[in-house]
Amino acid sequence: MQSVLQFRPSPRTYHPRRPHRKSRAGCLVCKQRRVKCDEVKPSCHRCQKLGFDCSYEPETKDKDSVSVFLASPPDSKAYCMSVDTVTKKINEILQLDSKSGPLPVVQALQHFHHGLTNPALGPKGAQSAMQAKIIQLGFNSPFLLHTIIAAATSHIRHLASDGRVYTFTETYHWQQAITQYSREVTTIGPKNTDSLISACLLLTIRSFSLDEYDPLSSFVFSDDIASLSWLTLQGGLRHLIMATAQWKAGSMWWEVFMKSQNETVDLFEDERPGRVAIHPGLADLCGIDDTTTAETNPYHAPARILTGLLSLERGVRSFASYTGWMGRLLPQFFARLMEKDPPALILLSWWLGLMYGTNMYWVETRARSEITAITWYLGEGWDEFMKFPTECIEDYENACIPG
């Protein structure tokens, strides 16, 4: 018995865990991915191993000033106290002309965070969640900061009774944004993925918007391909997302895009041949029969995707899905548009009708102007097909009339 007792394991002694503080000083990528960070600077070991852009939040003073600036209403004491630090930081990043001063820029940033409620960028929930993150990115990416300022000033000008006073500021920052973005996009990598995607999304406002309703300025009355650039340039985001896919795990945008993709995968990935899942009237218009494929007919995929979009809830909630249509248009379709082929014009007008209903300030004038131009160009023989986009405009405008 004694020998047996000698080999019996002794009771295990438990020691209370030493008090410790959970660190919140990890890099932004590790925080986004919710993994432990070793906090090595300038680049943590995890980011070095995975090839991600390792960046840390600004020093406490700058970080707190920017956070207070974004979180406080313009008439508050906290906002006024944070403006000096934010102004200094903006001057350092953008090297603005001291004569003009940064005040319009500061106002634009405040408006971008608090004032874009029109909506301007998409559904309110998704828009609010990303605006502050985009601004924080902008303080590390001059080209993105220019883009943010330009987009916000564009909206301010739209709301102002006399928007001309904002034209110079808006034009200057759009020019800087486009020039610097064009340089930056030649060196795509994990360090600039989120900034490039953010800027590309905002640059859509610049290329798509039309300042004044003018159907006669439409591409349908021109032979210059540049007159269609407001649409042809929209495929850039799709190519950018494909080019940055290898760094998706560290991107703040990946969850947004994956959510949208999961919700619309049946719309955009349906490659079945024939007329299945295509509006019968559109199929007849486009010459689609039971053997037609995307390879044999440039209207096959656009007509099928458009048919799916018609079944979605109308309005801003479907904005991301609507924009997916223009991102998938191919050169063959653009060529048919420039040839003024009726099926191409009608498909585009139906899509513009859906876009008009999103109530985006930078969409409405373009959509209404192009729909009117297409209606004029086609003439009375196509009234039946132009009924849908025309009613989209009329229905929305009637809904906006009180009473």
Helix ranges (H only) for 193-290 are: 193-208, 229-232, 236-243, 254-268, 280-285
Say if 2 falls within a structural domain: no
pTM: 0.78
Range of the domain at 186: 60-208
Q: Tell me whether residue 364 is in a domain.
A: yes
Q: For the chain, what is the domain count?
A: 3
* CATH code: domain of residue 41: 4.10.240.10
Single out the residue in 57, 77, 106 at which a domain terminates: 57
48 and 81 co-located in one domain: no
Domain edge (last residue) among 146, 179, 208: 208
Pair (341, 391) in one structural domain: yes
Please tell me whether residues 270 and 140 are part of one structural domain. Answer: no
Calculate Rg over the CA atoms of the chain: 26
Q: Is residue 162, in this structure, part of any structural domain at all?
A: yes
280 is a domain residue: yes
In a domain, residue 16? The reply is no
Residues 267 and 358 in one domain: yes
pLDDT tens over the chain, length 403 residues: 333 333 344 455 555 555 544 556 788 888 877 788 888 877 888 888 887 777 776 554 444 555 655 555 555 555 555 666 777 777 778 877 654 555 678 888 888 877 776 566 666 666 666 788 898 899 889 999 999 999 999 999 988 888 888 898 899 999 999 999 999 999 999 989 999 999 999 999 999 999 999 999 999 999 999 999 999 998 888 889 889 988 888 888 887 777 666 666 678 889 999 999 999 999 999 999 999 999 999 999 999 999 999 999 999 889 888 998 998 999 999 999 999 999 999 999 999 999 999 989 899 999 999 999 999 999 999 999 999 999 999 876 665 544 4
Co-location of 46 and 92 in the same domain: no
Q: Are residues 364 and 262 in the same domain?
A: yes
Q: Are residues 273 and 316 in the same domain?
A: yes
> ∠ CA(251), CA(302), CA(221), 5° rounding?
105
- Do 42 and 70 lie in one domain? The reply is no
Tell me, yes or no, whether 30 and 78 share the same domain: no
Tell me, what DSSP letter sits at residue 214?
-
- The residue with tokens 């297409």 is 374
Q: Final residue of a domain: which of 150, 174, 208?
A: 208
**73 and 201 fall within a common domain:** yes
* Cα–Cα dist 46/51, whole Å: 8
Q: Is the preceding omega at residue 42 within 30 degrees of 0, hence cis?
A: yes
Residues 48 and 65 in one domain: no
**Same structural domain, 32 and 102:** no
* Residue 81 resides in a domain: yes
